[in-house]
Structure 1
Amino acid sequence: MSDDTAARVAAGIGAWVERLLPDRERAGLLAAALRREFGDSTERISAEVCRRIEKVCHSYSRHLTLKFHADGSLVPDREEPMGWPPPDGAAIARARGGVVSVERHQGVAVLRVDSLEAWESAGPFLEDAFAAAEAVGGVAAGAGAVEGRGGSRTDGGGGLVLDLRRNGGGDMETLSRIAGFVLGPEAVTLATVTTMERVDEYRTAPAGRGGGRRVVVLTSERTYSSGEALAYVLQNRGVTVVGRRTAGAADHCTPARVSPHVVALIPYGVVRDPVTGGNWEGTGVVPDIEVPEGAEMAAAMGACADGARPGA
């Protein structure tokens, strides 16, 4: 049986964070907190111990989560973290590119997107969904239901509600494309991501549509990671956010096998929005209109009726 202990796992996480996270102060504080809490611990690693380690990590990086493998068969990474597997195009297609539905509520198009899948596979579904949402806003009410690749819709009305309440994040290119659909055809710089090696800039891709219409984004505690990023960049560019504060996980992360039993998501990239100079790490995205659970859709409809800030 492996001698995998809390101290070993905590040390492995701390070493990877100090190696990868460009925010040197935060990396040092996280590693020091792990040494302080678990440095002398001989407690054998378990799922419950992993949750306790996560709790310490979340004071410094909300994205840093652990997955426990009971069989202890992992070979710890040494030179490079294991990284993310390539996107599964077939699985993305089965999930309709993260698009759950396009519907009409009180004459407003409501587009629910639960994940930001790789654009290469998800793009056609999202393009269809936004085209359907535009049709909802541009055809006379009562025109009838239309079935599309992104789900059922009913034409009529105006305005758009982008429902991100269950969005768990994903691909940054897809985020940029969706932001382009909302903000319009002119390219807009959304964010930079700084790693130890470089700085990457993310901009909207010209969408040829969108912009100028009433837009509301819905969020909740389950809006996470790049789902939060999408809400954050749209809010900072004039789009109304309704709902509840998001989870607060802003760092870009990569999986690494830190022990025979544990894979950890290690933060390696720091996001900066040029509008705010910061991000939503630890704080979450704070809605413009905060409402209790169950009241979000009514509040979004009210915001559209009152003239929510247009995306552009």
Structure 2
Amino acid sequence: MTTLDTREQPASQIEIAEVVERTARLVGEHYVFADVAARLAGLLRADTDHHRQAHSWAALADTLTRTLQSVNGDRHLGVRFHDRPLPEDGGDPLADSLPGMARASLGGIHRVERLPDNVGLVRIEPALFSPTLAGAAMTAALRLVADADALILDLRETIGGDPEMEALICGHLFDRPTHIYTMRQRHLPDRQFWSPAPLAGARFGGDRPLAVLTSATTFSGGESLAYALQQHGRATVVGERTGGGAHPRTGFPLHPHLHLSVPIASPVNPVSGTNWEGTGVVPDVEVPAAEALDAAHRTVLRTTPPSLIVT
């Protein structure tokens, strides 16, 4: 294929047809729900003439994404345009960027603070990075708040995450191994994720008040943690309804400037029997995101045993 390196340059109709067919084939083979995958592949192929009218690779990415999200609105499914040519080895740009993002954000530990009345606060942003990248930082942050009388996890700007990090965090917040969810995959056996047995060292544990802050920005891995804690009755979710993206994804190159994201699994919560895809996590206390911290502080204080509150 010819490499076009600016969004203004028109793509040839032949190249567009090749990209559309490759997109249809990959989605048909890999999208988590086989029936939806077949329908989407058919829509893409039927709409090839429409896609051929795209005047640039950026425009083609937009029109392909609209078609891909037209059936069930899966926000993890889509095509992204990249100004610079992607590596020839076909790597996943998002996955490749995670180590740098983790370093630049101190492992996603944006803020650790003691609020009035001995309430701990841990703000995670932008993502729950894998334990390999940020496990030590997350453990250190959670141990700093282990002696708090109540805890607030701020996930308002958490837009992704790794299930192993979610399990690590839950290991600090439950007092026994807890089934977080079962990941159902199209081509592989189901995989269960559990929080580990209580870890050695300081832990906040499972018996003190816990609140989770959410916003409309909270997405994917951030939603997963909020939903698991809410469904197990471990936390009160305070803030806004979240973005509604539950399906883990992988990536495929379509062209030097286009990359396809395809969800390949679907989590099933053992309590609800479903997940937050399309609906988002619905707060227990619904307030604007900017007011969520104050509201959560009041909420956890109402459920903190009076003997623990320092006046």
Q: Is TM > 0.5 for Structure 1 vs Structure 2?
A: yes
Cα displacement (A) at 1:47: 1.9
Identity of aligned residues (%): 30
The counterpart of 1:112, out of the listed 123, 133, 136, is 123
Match of 1:177 in 2: 168
Match of 1:18 in 2: 28
**Structure 1 stretch displaced more, 120-129 or 53-62:** 53-62
Does the C-alpha gap of structure 1 residues 36 and 104 become closer, same or farther in structure 2, counting only changes over 3 Å?
A: farther
Counterpart secondary structure, 2:226: helix
The counterpart of 1:166, out of the listed 135, 145, 157, is 157
The counterpart of 1:131, out of the listed 143, 152, 159, is 143
Is it true that 1:54 corresponds to 2:49 in the alignment?
Answer: no
Structure 1, unpaired ranges of 5+:
138-157
Counterpart secondary structure, 1:294: helix
Cα displacement (A) at 1:223: 1.0
Quote the Cα distance in structure 1 between the aligned partners of 2:194 and 2:250: 22
Counterpart secondary structure, 2:290: coil
CA contact (8 A) 2:214 2:289 kept: no
Does the C-alpha gap of structure 1 residues 74 and 113 become closer, same or farther in structure 2, counting only changes over 3 Å?
A: closer
Task: Read off the aligned partner of 1:14 and give its amino acid letter.
Answer: A
Does the C-alpha gap of structure 1 residues 215 and 71 become closer, same or farther in structure 2, counting only changes over 3 Å?
A: closer
Counterpart secondary structure, 1:202: strand
Does the C-alpha gap of structure 1 residues 14 and 173 become closer, same or farther in structure 2, counting only changes over 3 Å?
A: same
Counterpart secondary structure, 1:263: strand
1:65-104 paired onto structure 2 within 5 Å: 65-70=78-83, 84-85=95-96, 88=99, 92-104=102-114
Q: Provide, for residues 171-194 of structure 1, a one-character-per-residue CA deviation record: whole Å limited to 9, x for no partner.
A: 11101111221223x111111112
1:1-312 paired onto structure 2 within 5 Å: 1=2, 3=12, 7-42=17-52, 43-59=54-70, 60=72, 61-70=74-83, 84-85=95-96, 88=99, 92-107=102-117, 108-114=119-125, 115-135=127-147, 137=148, 158-184=149-175, 186-195=176-185, 196-208=187-199, 209=203, 210-238=205-233, 239-307=235-303
TM-score for both structures, normalised by structure 2: 0.81
Cα displacement (A) at 1:300: 0.6
CA contact (8 A) 2:128 2:160 kept: yes
**Count of aligned positions:** 283
Counterpart secondary structure, 1:110: strand
More helix by share: 2
Q: Provide, for residues 260-292 of structure 1, a one-character-per-residue CA deviation record: whole Å limited to 9, x for no partner.
A: 421011111121111111111111111111112
TM-score for both structures, normalised by structure 1: 0.81
CA contact (8 A) 1:34 1:56 kept: yes
Cα displacement (A) at 1:201: 1.0
Quote the Cα distance in structure 1 between the aligned partners of 2:289 and 2:16: 37
Task: Read off the aligned partner of 2:181 and give its amino acid letter.
Answer: A
Quote the Cα distance in structure 2 between the aligned partners of 1:17 and 1:194: 17
Cα displacement (A) at 1:6: 5.2
